[in-house]
Amino acid sequence: MKKNSMIKNSSFSLISTKKIIQMNNIWTSYDSKIFVLKGINLSIDRGTNYAIVGQSGSGKSTLLKLMNGMMLSSKGTIKIDYVMPDMNDKKFKKMMHTIGYIPQSLGLIKNITVLENILIGALPRLSKIQSFFKRFPEHEIQEAKRILKLVALSGKENRKVYMLSGGEKRRVAIARALMQKPTILLADEIVSELDHVTAHEIMDLIADAQKRMNLTAIMVHHDLQIALEYADRVAVIKEGKKILEIGVEGETIVDFQTGDMSAEEIMEMYSDDSQK
Ligand SMILES: Nc1ncnc2c1ncn2[C@@H]1O[C@H](COP(=O)(O)OP(=O)(O)OP(=O)(O)O)[C@@H](O)[C@H]1O
Ligand SMILES: [Mg+2]
């Protein structure tokens, strides 16, 4: 029996890549002298949760900045859904609106309300005039309120952001990113510095949004433990190099970059982290 009847008619009009992000031999430098990323190769499957962990200064935030076009690599190629991330490229500029980026500093506007911050995610969909006067159509306001509920902030829509707790601020940043109707969510250490319970609440929230929206989530974490709990794949970065890529299947840690580290070294790294 034929598997795909479309082949006969050869009437394909769309192509989709399973690897939504591909990085090939990426080298990056801020000052053209020292490379902060050195030969990174990675590919991320659409709809998965991919985590990046590593010590401070290892290059995690830089990796995310390359994925949303804020930085360009010095060498190597990056493709996001076939498009090279470059703010000067029209095709990428359009795509950028569907990449929800939550920087390490969250990037919220502290003296405006929760709802106003969330609505910022809808700005790219507004006309120039609507955008200039921040005149949001009713359906966008309703959408913002729906997302507000999703992130469990109902009743706080009119509160100024500076009055919120750390966990609540993170919920607002997630809501603003979801308001973009993203296909990719980049989150830089969104649960670091939070207590265990709140960190898990925030991670559950993202996992839930991911299922609802078929989102690819790429998240930087400080600890390996929480990364392995939620991610399909975890890349470990050390001094600008990807030294390991692992995932969990049942009770086993699966090594997808076999050869670079011994089994003992990997288990040691995991047990160091789980003792925290
Ligand atoms: N704007 C910048 N100009 C020059 N060097 C930078 C800049 N931003 C980062 N770096 C350097 O690049 C390296 C990687 O930084 P990056 O912010 O990616 O690390 P990180 O892994 O995210 O660290 P952290 O866990 O502390 O956030 C560091 O040595 C840092 O000092
Ligand atoms: Mg960082």
- pLDDT, tens only, 162-214: 999 999 999 999 999 999 999 999 999 999 888 899 899 999 999 998 988 88
Mean pLDDT value across the chain: 91
pLDDT of residue 87: 83
Environment of ion ligand 2 (residues, CB < 5 A): 61
pLDDT reading at 233 higher than 70: yes
pTM of the entire predicted model:
0.92
- Higher pLDDT, residue 194 or 276: 194
Q: How far is the CA of 254 from the centre of ligand 1 (A)?
A: 29
- pLDDT, tens only, 109-153: 999 999 999 999 998 888 888 877 778 899 999 999 999 999 999
For ligand 1, atom 3, which residue shows the shortest CA distance?
30
- Does residue 239 lie in a domain region? yes
pLDDT reading at 7 higher than 80: no
Q: How far is the CA of 61 from the centre of ligand 1 (A)?
A: 7
pLDDT of residue 274: 72
- pLDDT, tens only, 73-114: 999 999 999 899 888 888 888 888 999 999 999 999 999 999
Pocket test for ligand 1, best of 31, 35, 40, 62 (most atoms within 8 A of CB): 62
pLDDT band at 5 (very low <50, low <70, confident <90, very high): low
- The number of folded domains in the chain is 2
Task: Find the CATH number of the domain harbouring 191.
Answer: 3.40.50.300
For ligand 1, atom 26, which residue shows the shortest CA distance?
56
Q: Which atom of ligand 1 is nearest to the CA of 58?
A: 21
pLDDT reading at 267 higher than 90: no
Q: How far is the CA of 234 from the centre of ligand 1 (A)?
A: 20
pLDDT of residue 6: 64
- Does residue 25 lie in a domain region? yes
Task: Express as a percent the part of the chain with pLDDT over 90.
Answer: 67
The 3-state secondary structure of the chain reads CCCCCHHHHCCCCCCCCCEEEEEEEEEEECCCCCEEEEEEEEEEECCCEEEEEECCCCCHHHHHHHHCCCCCCCEEEEEECCECCCCCCHHHHHHHCCEEEECCCCCCCCCCEHHHHHHHHHHHHCCHHHHHCCCCCHHHHHHHHHHHHHCCCCCCCCCEHHHCCHHHHHHHHHHHHHHCCCCEEEEECCCCCCCHHHHHHHHHHHHHHHHHHCCEEEEEECCHHHHHHHCCEEEEEECCEEEEEEEEECCEEEECCCCCCCHHHHHHHHHHHHCC
Residue 83 sits in the same domain as residue 195: yes
Residue 151 sits in the same domain as residue 63: no
For ligand 1, atom 7, which residue shows the shortest CA distance?
30
Report residues whose beta carbon is within 6 angstroms of any ligand 1 atom: 30-31, 36, 54, 56-62, 104
pLDDT reading at 3 higher than 90: no
For ligand 1, atom 28, which residue shows the shortest CA distance?
57
- Does residue 1 lie in a domain region? no
For ligand 1, atom 29, which residue shows the shortest CA distance?
57
pLDDT reading at 216 higher than 70: yes
Nearest ligand (C-alpha, residue 36): 1
Residue 156 sits in the same domain as residue 89: no
Q: How far is the CA of 129 from the centre of ligand 2 (A)?
A: 36
Q: What is the span of the domain harbouring residue 171?
A: 108-181
Residue 199 sits in the same domain as residue 160: no
Q: Which atom of ligand 1 is nearest to the CA of 31?
A: 4
